[in-house]
Structure formats: structure tokens, C-alpha cells
Amino acid sequence: MAETILRLQNISKYYYSDTSVTQALRKINLEFSMGEFVAITGESGGGKSTLLNVISGMLPFDEGEMYFRGEPTFQYDDQDWEEYRRNKIGFVFQDYSLINHYTALDNILAALVIQGKDPESSKEEAMAYLEQVGLTEQAAQRASQLSSGQKQRLSIARALAKNTDIIVADEPTGNLDSETGEQIVEILERLSHEKLVIMVTHNYDQAEPYVTRRIRLHDGEVVTDVPVNKRDENVDQDHQNPSEGEIKSNSGEKTKKKHLENFFALKNIKMQKARAGLFFTFFLITAVVSFLFIGELLVYRDDRITKEYNSDAYLQKNDTRLVVRHPDNSVLTEKDQAAIAGVKYVTMTDLCDYANDINYYIEEDKDYEKTHGSQDKQITNVDNDGMTEEEKNQGIRLLDKTHFMKSSTAITKSDLASGRLPKERNEIVLYTTDKKKLNSQIRCYFSSENLWKEGESCFQDLKIVGILKDNTRQVYFHPELCQMLTYGMDKFVVWGEFCWDMRYEKYYGTMKPVYVVVADDLKDNQVRVSENYIIPSTGYGLVPSDLKMAFSGQQGVLHIEKEESGNDTAGAQADEIDQNMKAAGLETDSEETSQKANRISIDIEYAEDFSQQGGDFIEVSPEIYQKLRDYYNIGTTQASVYIANYSKTDKVLRELQDMGYDAISTYQVSATKYVQEKVYKRLEVIGISTLILIALAILQILIIRSILKIKKKDYSVLRFIGMRRRQMGRITYLEMGIHCIAAVIVTAIIMVILQQTGVSFIRNMMFYYGIIGFVLFIVYNAVLLFLTVFFFNRTLRQE
């Protein structure tokens, strides 16, 4: 006598609805043994499916007890029932419940992997099950491409693969023609020799020749329970319950779990490319949009955007320019330049700092326009002898104010396409496609609102000695020229006592800096002043209206004052500049420590003609200029250092300070005042970016969760063949995780490529990213992934 494997004792099952209670099973008493092939029949609504579901652990019963191998099941919790369904029951359904996008072989492998087997080494076993149902040739075919009969055979092979003692089949022939249906019943019959097979059928006639027992239900009660075809039973006892020990020993092994998750996650991606593409696309959209808006937040985290730039101290509004010098203001050497250039993010070092606030205008009609007769202050009562009408009335109108001087210390020979770097004060290099321009002369105009009087300009005739490789409008000047134009700032203040005060019968200085420029045509002690030099009121009055005329041809004394002289002798403009310098943190001299003027005097002689330079400039002979240079032993003490991006300012400043330099950001010291409108704009951008990131999160959770719902059917199939909910959850995490990681990596690569290929706003944003930015980006996407899958898994659990 075969062992009783299942015993149902007084089992009742009720279905409750809001309005009624249906008793689907009424005190069922049944026993099942190995080696039986049981047909459950009865009219529709009799309770057949309910009974099958109770037996297979899919439905809880309300009364009575079910014994499995003599053990009562009343103490089973959810996990035990899950275990029971997974390890004890093989299912065959009318609708086959296959994973349609898997191949026949993969459907079987799925069942084996769920049992904890390694997919690679189980292929042979899977093929053996397919062989048992005659599907060897269809192994590589997708389940969706099989015929109905083949599908049902596959579903039986899968039930077999579960290696359970009991196989339940709910109308397995319901969708098949009679011939195919009979083949299926035949297969089940074959299997029942070593298992218990319970089959619900509406077509008892078809099953009759094969089954060993018939149970008929009516209105939830067993009305017939009769043996049909007597069998010489010799159940393979060795085979009994092989799965239990095997599966128990398998459970909990981490490597097997990994097999399982990898198998299903990768299979899903591989077998459903369109769906995988859809998931990836959504994750990619989220990754890209989140990258950009996290970047926007990072850029706007810096509140400099809300500040107004004050160009008093530094005219050039360049947020990447730092000013660097030694704390003792000693001369910067080439060694210093190399050390500074070696700091990370430093892109350019120009040893002539002040010149970087001087605009240069080099091309007529592009940068400046020569105007004639349009000067505001026409000086009529001057001696015009020797001057053409044009010279008298010539003026310069500046068109473009975006170019600032840089010295040739900022480049090397490798930056040149042809020619050489400037060696003399009056030599320059620039970019041009016109090769003929090499060695030609050009006139270059200079102006600087923060150094000289507004609207003031001077010019120099320069020789092009080199042509740059890069197509840029930047011109590089010899450092000597840069220094010459900024000596008033950097080293000395000059004023000529050429303002005659009749009361004291004495020449007075202008009480403001006068800038020296060299005029190569002047000789010995000659100087030349502008005819439109504006004489400031000395406070003594009685300035003769034709005073300017008085300079011509007269002897004078040029007073030179060393920088340390303090503020008391400098004019209003110099005072202002001093204050700006102080604000910039660069001024070491304070009023308390200021020393007495330290002057030299050089006898001068006024040249016959008038200078075309602006009024703040005095042209001197090369000899006078040399005397000044010798006296002041001029060298560069302050460098302009350019960095790759403003976001790296603090980093570079710290590094330079660690190296022993004084360093400030010209932008930080100039942009100090908050502008309300800009503050609002910043808040707006931060608010909008944050809202977009939140909306994106909600959208992604909703969209991906609803696409994931397509998977529900697959998941219910997997559940029938024994997969745990937790495993399904982990598979979803893994599958979506792969998409998410791929999307994050692809986005990062795209952004790096865009940065390299020069999309400027991406390049700018990438500087703000750094490690923190990328961590934020990854965390945002990871949290979204987690939430999406978490909510999806929760809906699965609730069903």
C-alpha cells in the first residue's frame, strides 16, 4: 500500500463578500497517496478549483485540518506555505502560465534555478525534462512561439523540474483539441506512477482510461470518490520526496541566491530587449535631467551671482583671475611663475598684473574709430604752428571694450605659429591670417578706467614680431610696455611742476598721477605734454587761461616720487585707487606707516610740439625713461593668475597661500554688494531646479512603476513555480539597478565628452561637480531606483 501523502479532514472553505458568504467546500474528507492519478470532476461552481487551490496551498481553508505526510498544517505561517508551494507542489494550468519571452529551456531552467541550482550546470537536467514531454527540438524556441499542446507539455515539464511529489493540474486540457488533450493526459498518467497527480477536468471521458480515481464534487461536497483503473502499484519509494532534503540544504546559500537573481535579471534584460530599452531610456532621461539640474544647483550654490561687480579696483570682470604676490612685495621671478603655473587648475600666469586691467584697441573700425573734429573740449587758443588740422582735431572713439592687456610672460614660444616672442618694449605678438603683417607696424590704443581718468587713452606704435597659433583676439605685449603703462600704479607717481601759480610765481604739480610713456623721437631731457591737458584747480586761483601755451619750449623739473611716499601727496584719483587696493587687500602701506616723499628730480625740457596722448600721459625721451627705470630698479611684483573655473577659486587660493604667496580673487574682492534682483533670481533658479528634481522623482516612480506592472504576470508565474516574494523583489532591484547604473554611467560619459568637446555651459557646470556633485548625482538616482522598486514591490505584496 502506497504512503498517504495528503489527508484532508473536515475541510471547509468560505468566500466572504460585502453582501454574502459562499461556502465553496463543505467538510471535505479525503486522503491521497503516491502513485495515484486523481480526476476531480463536477458541475461548474461545485468547488473543484477551490479544492485544488486548498490542496496546493494557494488558498487558506477556514475549518478542518490538512495533513501533509502525517504532519498537521495548522501551525504553518506564510513562509511555511510559500515553502510548501515551492517544494511540494508542481502546477499545471489551463492557461499554461509560462514566461512567454523565455525559451522552452529557460522556462525549465527557471524552475531549477528557483530550487537553488546553478543555471549553467543544470542545462542537461532541463533538457532531460523536455525530452520526457517530447520537446527536445523546441528547447531554443520562445514559449510564445509554441503550439497550445507544446505549451501545456512545457508546463508539465516545468512541474516535473520542480521535482515535487504532488502535481496539481487545473483543467490542463481545457484549451486543447481532443487529440492533444489526450497526449497531455497520457503524460500525466505516466508521471503519476511515481507521484501523486490531481487533475481538475470537465472532460472526464477523455481522462477516464488513464485516471486511477474519480472524485466528484457537488455544491462543495464530495458526492463520489471511486477507484477507476486498478494499477499494479509499485511506487518508486526512493524517489519519494527527494526534493525536500535537497531544497532545504540549498536554501540560505548566498551563492545560489546570487545565481537566481542574476539568472532572472539578466534573462529579462536579454530576452525582452524592447522592454529593457524602455526601462533604460527612462532611467537615462532621469539621469541626464538630474545631472543638469543638480549641476544648476551646484552652480547657484555660490552666491556670487547675486552680487554687483565694482570695477574700481579691477576693471576686468573676469571671475577666473587671481592676483598673486609675495607678502613682502618682492619681485616675482621665473621660478615663482613656474611654481604658480604648476598649481592645479591654474591655466595662465601673467607676471604683469596691473596691465590686465588696461583695454587695448588694435584694429581701426573694429576696436576703435578715429574721429575728426568731434572732441568735446576743443582748445582754440593754442599755438597751432607745425600741426595739421587733422592732428589738432584727431580723437579716438572706442568701440569694443572687451580686450585686456596680457604680457608675453603668459605665453611661450610654443604658442606661436611663426616669428618670436617680443624682446623689446615696442614689440607684440598677435593672431592674424595675413602673413604679411609679420614685422609690420601697428598703432595700439590703451585705456583703463580704473587706472587712468575715464575716457583717457594713449597709444604706442608697435611692431608685430610673432603670430599666434590660436585664433584669438588676444594680443601679447612685452612686459616692459605693460609695466610702463602701469608704473604710476605699481612704482611711482610723476607730476610735472608745469602749472604756473601767479600768486606764488611758482609751478605746481597736478596732484595726481601722470603716466610716463616713451616717445622714441624725443632726445636727452625732452618731455612732451598733451595740448588738451586739463589743469586741475590748485586752489590758488589765478590760473591763466592760456597756461598750456606757456609750457611750450620752457624748462621744467620733473618730480618723481617713490611708491612708499604715502597718500598725502597723491591726488584724488590716486587716493581712490589706493583705497581700492586696500579693499582688495593688497596695500601694505597704511597711513600710519607712510613715509615722507622720496623724490628725485630730473631736469626736463618741453618739446616744441604737443603730445597726442591723453592728458594723463606725459611722453618722455628714452633717456629719461631709462633714468627712471634705473632709479626704481623695476621688477614685477604682482602677477595675474588665471584658473580654469571660478568654482576652483578657493582651492587655488588655499594652495597658493600654503606655498607662501598672498593671493586674492579679483572677482571676490570686486563683487561684494548684494543686488536684490539677483538674489531673487538665484532663489528662483534654486527653487525651480529643486522642484524639477522632485517632480522628476515622482514622475520616474510613477512611470517606471506602471511599466513594471507589465511584469506582474511573469511574477505570478514565477510564484507558482516556487519563487519567494523576497526573491522577486531582489530580482527587480537587480534588473532595475543594472538599467540605472548603465544610465548613470552613460550620462557621466556623455557629460565628460560634451565637456571635452567644448559645450561651454556643460564645461562650466562640470567644474562645479567635483566629487560632491557626482556623489549627489549617484545618490539621487540610487534613491529614486530604490523608491521605484520599493513601491512596486509593495504593490506586488499587497496583491
Residues at the contact surface with ligand ATP, assessed by CB under 6 A: 15, 17, 22, 24, 42, 44-50
- Rounded least distance, CB 207 to ligand ATP, Å: 15
User: Closest CB to ligand ATP among 47 and 729?
Assistant: 47
- Rounded least distance, CB 161 to ligand ATP, Å: 27
- Rounded least distance, CB 186 to ligand ATP, Å: 23
- The Cα 278–Cα 275 span in angstroms is 5
User: Closest CB to ligand ATP among 218 and 326?
Assistant: 218
User: Closest CB to ligand ATP among 49 and 732?
Assistant: 49
- Rounded least distance, CB 71 to ligand ATP, Å: 26
- The Cα 285–Cα 730 span in angstroms is 24
- Rounded least distance, CB 718 to ligand ATP, Å: 22
- The Cα 482–Cα 152 span in angstroms is 91
Q: Indicate the residue type of 749.
A: I
Cell 616675482, residue?
332
User: Closest CB to ligand ATP among 43 and 591?
Assistant: 43
User: Closest CB to ligand ATP among 625 and 720?
Assistant: 720
How is residue 611 annotated by DSSP? B
User: Closest CB to ligand ATP among 49 and 700?
Assistant: 49
User: Closest CB to ligand ATP among 20 and 760?
Assistant: 20
Cell 526512493, residue?
238
User: Closest CB to ligand ATP among 15 and 680?
Assistant: 15
- Rounded least distance, CB 50 to ligand ATP, Å: 3
User: Closest CB to ligand ATP among 48 and 730?
Assistant: 48
Exposed/middle/buried for 630, CB within 10 Å: 0-12, 13-18, 19+? Answer: exposed
- The Cα 706–Cα 700 span in angstroms is 10
User: Closest CB to ligand ATP among 24 and 207?
Assistant: 24
- Rounded least distance, CB 200 to ligand ATP, Å: 7
> β-pairing, 4-16 with 63-68?
antiparallel
- The Cα 256–Cα 4 span in angstroms is 33
Are the C-beta atoms of 574 and 567 separated by less than 8 Å?
yes
- Rounded least distance, CB 22 to ligand ATP, Å: 5
Q: How many CB atoms lie within 10 A of CB 534?
A: 12
- Rounded least distance, CB 61 to ligand ATP, Å: 12
Whether the CA torsion 322, 326, 331, 336 is positive or negative: it is: negative
Torsion angle defined by CA atoms of residues 518, 520, 525 and 526, in that order, rounded to the nearest 10 degrees: -90
Helical segments of 165-219, H only: 178-192, 204-207
User: Closest CB to ligand ATP among 47 and 615?
Assistant: 47
User: Closest CB to ligand ATP among 17 and 255?
Assistant: 17
Phi-psi map region of 30: left, alpha, beta (phi>0 left; psi -120 to 50 alpha)? beta
The three cell numbers locating residue 100: 512567454
User: Closest CB to ligand ATP among 12 and 569?
Assistant: 12
- Rounded least distance, CB 13 to ligand ATP, Å: 8
- Rounded least distance, CB 178 to ligand ATP, Å: 19
The three cell numbers locating residue 127: 533538457
- Stated as kind and residue range, the H or E segment containing 23 is strand 21-33
- Rounded least distance, CB 130 to ligand ATP, Å: 30
For residue 418, the Cα-to-chain-centroid distance in whole angstroms is 40
User: What is 408-449 written as a DSSP string?
Assistant: GGG--GGGEEEE----STTEEEE--S-GGGTT-EEEEEEE-T
- Rounded least distance, CB 235 to ligand ATP, Å: 29
Cell 618694449, residue?
425
Q: How many CB atoms lie within 10 A of CB 610?
A: 25
Please, which contacts does 386-394 make with residues 24 or more away whose CB atoms are closer than 8 Å?
A: 386/608, 386/609, 387/609, 387/610, 391/612, 392/531, 394/370, 394/612
- Rounded least distance, CB 168 to ligand ATP, Å: 13
- The Cα 360–Cα 486 span in angstroms is 13
User: Closest CB to ligand ATP among 20 and 555?
Assistant: 20
Are the C-beta atoms of 686 and 297 separated by less than 8 Å?
yes
User: What is 466-534 written as a DSSP string?
Assistant: EEESS--S--EE-HHHHHHHHHHHHTEEEEE--EEETTTTEEE--SS-BEEEE-TT--TTEEEEBTTPP
